Structure 1
């Protein structure tokens, strides 16, 4: 049996939901997701609000602080009846949780569920979104956008709760999402945080979560010319375009997939990043196929 998972930052748009239900996929790992439009609401299931909405466990965090910024959530969405889905309810970052809970340390950064393809061993899946975090005012920083590695490290810490022993092959974990960082970037750009970015990928590896890209040649088309700040032999594939770009001119990869070492050998990952298959968001879709045959 092949389980089809789609990872996609949908920028809180409605049209991606409609495209998702036409893909014959089983599960979607979404970032920056709002509510599904009424015309497809009966064909998707994003689980209980407590699995993604930080208001459920910290209802006053947003008061007076950019309410429109934090209404874009990572979600795990059921798309077919070929899989069962059990969503983990989010709670504050406490030391001990119940069977149906996950302790989260970043607001709007992660959603986790356990999916069960018919007759097969279950898989823990996580949708991750490394939000930008502003530098403290005392730094007088010129990083106007901020940095994403702080959110990414919170995500890695939260995922570590699902690593119960030192043998990665005993786990079946799939993690995908928008890290807002560029794998393998160089330090030559003045605002690049390449060394900090690298620590996120190193920590994933230390948990036994294998980096699956997507990477060229089989993970999608590459940008031409090679984007500034990357080595000539980069295997990155563009998954995001700015407002000044199009799918044809998209340059940078921000979206990535990881899976438990050993289990990762059953997984094929490809960015749907050609212009005719990009989709209706500024990020392209990533198709993840899990082969349990």
Structure 2
């Protein structure tokens, strides 16, 4: 049996939900999910709100500052009866959690669940969204977009709780999402803080989480020409296009997949990034297939 999972930043749009239910996949790892449209809500299972909604575990410190705490959640979605899904309820970043909980240190950055295929060993899935954080006012920074590596490292800290041994054979983890970072960025890249981006991938590797790309040639189409700020031999595949562009103009990769060492040998990934298969978000879909041993 092959378990098929889709990773997708759906930009809080409704059309991607409709496309998801037509794909015939088993589960989805979504970012910037928003709410499912009512016409397909009976065909998806987003799990309990406590698995993704930080309003459930945060205090009311944010009242009076914003109308809501956040509304672009990471979610794990069940899409078929070929798998069972057990969602982890989010709690504040405490030191010890129950079996059905995950301690979360960022708002809207992570959702996790245990996926159990009918005829294979279960594995943990993590949807990751490294949302942008603004620099502190005291910095007088000109980086209006802020930085994403802070969110990424919070995500890594949270998912590292599922790694209880230095032996990677003791865990089965699939983590994917929009990290808003450039893999392999050179120091002259003007869009990111390259040295800080590198620490995200280095830390994932240190935890025994193998980088699966997607990377060319099997993982999707590459941008032509190579975007500035990447090495000439980059294998990155574009997964995002900017406002005002179309999929054919996509240049940069922001979305990535990781799997625990050993388990990663069963996993194949591909960015559905050609113009005719892109989908209705500014990020393309990433198809992840786990082959039972």
Measure the CA separation in 2 of the matches of 1:192 and 1:248: 22
Map Cα deviations across residues 206-240 of structure 1 (whole Å, 9 max, x no partner): 11000000000000000001011111110000000
In structure 1, the gaps of 5 or more residues are: none
Q: What residue is the counterpart of 1:207 in the other structure? A: 207
**1:182 and 2:196 matched:** no
TM-score, structure 2 length as denominator?
Answer: 0.98
Matches within 5 A, 1:89-168: 89-168=89-168
Measure the CA separation in 2 of the matches of 1:58 and 1:258: 29
SS of equivalent to 1:248: helix
Structure 1 residues 31, 67: closer, same or farther in 2, change over 3 A? farther
Measure the CA separation in 2 of the matches of 1:189 and 1:163: 33
Deviation at 1:69, TM superposition (A): 7.6
Query: Residues 143 and 191 of structure 1 are in contact (CA less than 8 Å); yes or no, is this contact kept in structure 2?
Result: no
Q: What residue is the counterpart of 2:36 in the other structure? A: 36
SS of equivalent to 1:84: strand
In structure 2, the gaps of 5 or more residues are: none
Q: What residue is the counterpart of 2:231 in the other structure? A: 231
SS of equivalent to 2:120: coil
Query: Residues 185 and 229 of structure 2 are in contact (CA less than 8 Å); yes or no, is this contact kept in structure 1?
Result: yes
Deviation at 1:191, TM superposition (A): 5.6
**1:272 and 2:272 matched:** yes
Matches within 5 A, 1:237-276: 237-276=237-276
Query: Residues 266 and 292 of structure 1 are in contact (CA less than 8 Å); yes or no, is this contact kept in structure 2?
Result: yes
Q: What residue is the counterpart of 1:193 in the other structure? A: 193
Measure the CA separation in 2 of the matches of 1:192 and 1:11: 21
SS of equivalent to 2:152: helix
TM-score, structure 1 length as denominator?
Answer: 0.98
Greater alpha carbon shift after TM alignment, 26-35 vs 183-192: 183-192
